[in-house]
Amino acid sequence: MSSSVNYSRAYDVFVSYRRDGGETMAILIHDRLASKGFNVFIDVEGLNSGNFNTKLLQVIESCKDFVLVLSPNALDRCTNEGDWVRNEIAHAIGLNKNIVPIMLRGFQWPEHLPEDMADLPMKNGVNANNNEYFDAAIDRLSEKFLLSKPMKLFDKISLFAKNAVDKTSEVIESARINEKISESRRRLSETKTQFGDMVDVSKLNTRISESRHRADNIKLKLADHYWEKYKEGATLDDEAEKLCSAIKDEVDLMDECNREIQKIKKIPETQSAAKPAEDFKCAQCGTVLSPEAKFCPECGAVVAAKTPEAAPEFIVCQNCDAQTPFGKKFCQRCGSKL
């Protein structure tokens, strides 16, 4: 919801919030959904008048999903017809948008709501009143409640090409937006005590996601480099080693972030580390064999059938440390994907 936003751009999700008490959570939701590939619209400058209000309503019209952050007393001022949060909600209801309330700790529905908002309490929403399970709440929001789908790489490229003619103004406007988002994030850090370690975990998860994306791009460059050299019949050079080193740097960064998350959540490192698979070797000559081998390719000895390892009885949830029976896809305590 910013006056410097490119309104010709298509958005999937509109985030509405009351600045007093809801801004921190709104920024967190924006960052996490954006990292998952959604095009998210959020106000970081505050409301102006006249033409901006009209354009803001137009953005709501273009979005499939309307995410409403409900902090304590967020709806108290909605009895005022000029209240802009009320105008946003009423407009979304009138357009039959997919409205998803995000209810924070301490929020309670008012006894009476204006007629144009009367249907709001009937909407299915997500409780985000437990800081420890914020990631699980975001996963439920994106996977079960939103109608929009994350953008694929091809869609992102197409969108970029569509807006290429506005590149110069887009850069200027994006700089203003980023400056306002940075200010909001600075305010977010000042309110860290309200949300505890949830802020740190969210930031680290975002860094992991960004690092994984960079590593994947480098891997693609590495694959292209190897292929071109292979087609030319040349031996590999130092460029391949540099690319591999860059990938290792990103992997090390992801590992460091995961260790920080484990410290915050007090998860022992040995608990989260997967046990490496042991090599399957020939009993006669020690040659490493493939799992499906029946005869040793070196000495011809018959390979004894490998005794399958017993499946573990439980899986430990990385989000809340609860034990869930092996084979289940979601944690039985917090709902996180296993």
Question: pLDDT tens for residues 200-237?
Answer: 676 777 777 777 777 777 877 777 777 677 667 777 67
Greater confidence (34 vs 299) lies with: 34
Same domain, 159 and 226: no
Where is mean pLDDT largest: 38-52, 261-275, 314-328? 314-328
Q: Provide the token pair at 223.
A: 């694959």
Domain limit, last residue, from 140, 157, 191: 191
Q: Residue 121: is its pLDDT beyond 90? A: yes
Q: Provide the token pair at 292.
A: 């499906």
Same domain, 186 and 208: no
Same domain, 226 and 95: no
Calpha distance 60→142 (Å, rounded): 18
Q: What is the mean pLDDT of residues 93-122?
A: 92
The answer to the question of residue 283 being in a domain is no
Percent of the chain with pLDDT over 90: 21
Where is mean pLDDT largest: 41-50, 65-74, 135-144, 290-299? 65-74
Question: Residue 14 contacts by C-beta under 8 Å, 6 or more apart in sequence?
Answer: 41, 59, 60, 63, 65, 66, 67, 88, 92, 97
What is the DSSP annotation of 56-82? HHHHHHH-SEEEEEE-TTTTGGGGSTT
Same domain, 28 and 170: yes
Which SS3 state, helix, strand or coil, does residue 22 take? Answer: helix
The answer to the question of residue 235 being in a domain is yes
Same domain, 157 and 89: yes
Same domain, 211 and 112: no
Same domain, 79 and 158: yes
Listed range (73-82, 144-153, 309-318) with the worst mean pLDDT: 309-318
- Bridge partners of 101, per DSSP, are 68
pLDDT at site 16:
94
Confidence of residue 274 (pLDDT cuts 50, 70, 90): very low
Contact 139, 338 (CB under 8 A): no
Q: What is the 3-class SS of 165-233, one letter each residue?
A: HHHHHHHHHHHHHHHHHHHHHHHHHHCHHHHCCHHHHHHHHHHHHHHHHHHHHHHHHHHHHHHHHHHHC
Same domain, 180 and 35: yes
Mean pLDDT for the chain? Answer: 75
Q: Residue 194: is its pLDDT beyond 60? A: no
122-165 per-position pLDDT tens digit? 999 998 876 657 788 888 899 999 999 887 654 555 555 555 54
Confidence of residue 94 (pLDDT cuts 50, 70, 90): very high
pLDDT at site 315:
78
Indicate the number of domains in the chain: 2
Same domain, 105 and 47: yes
Calpha distance 135→28 (Å, rounded): 10
Which SS3 state, helix, strand or coil, does residue 40 take? Answer: strand
Listed range (9-23, 33-47, 84-98, 115-129) with the worst mean pLDDT: 33-47
Same domain, 140 and 48: yes
Q: How far is CA 264 from CA 4, 137, 268, in A?
A: 37, 18, 11
Listed range (67-76, 202-211, 275-284) with the worst mean pLDDT: 275-284
Same domain, 103 and 213: no
Greater confidence (175 vs 335) lies with: 335
The answer to the question of residue 81 being in a domain is yes
Listed range (28-32, 92-96, 292-296) with the worst mean pLDDT: 292-296
Same domain, 62 and 186: yes
Fill in the amino acid letter for 246.
A
The answer to the question of residue 25 being in a domain is yes
Structural domain span for residue 248 = 204-272
Calpha distance 51→66 (Å, rounded): 21
Greater confidence (330 vs 74) lies with: 74
Quote the Cα angle for 89-91-92, to 5°. 65
CATH number for the domain spanning 87: value is 3.40.50
The answer to the question of residue 239 being in a domain is yes
The beta strands (E) that lie in 77-190 are given as 98-103, 126-127
pLDDT at site 46:
47
Where is mean pLDDT largest: 86-95, 130-139, 320-329? 86-95
Give the HSE-up count for residue 131: Cα atoms under 13 Å, Cβ half-sphere: 14
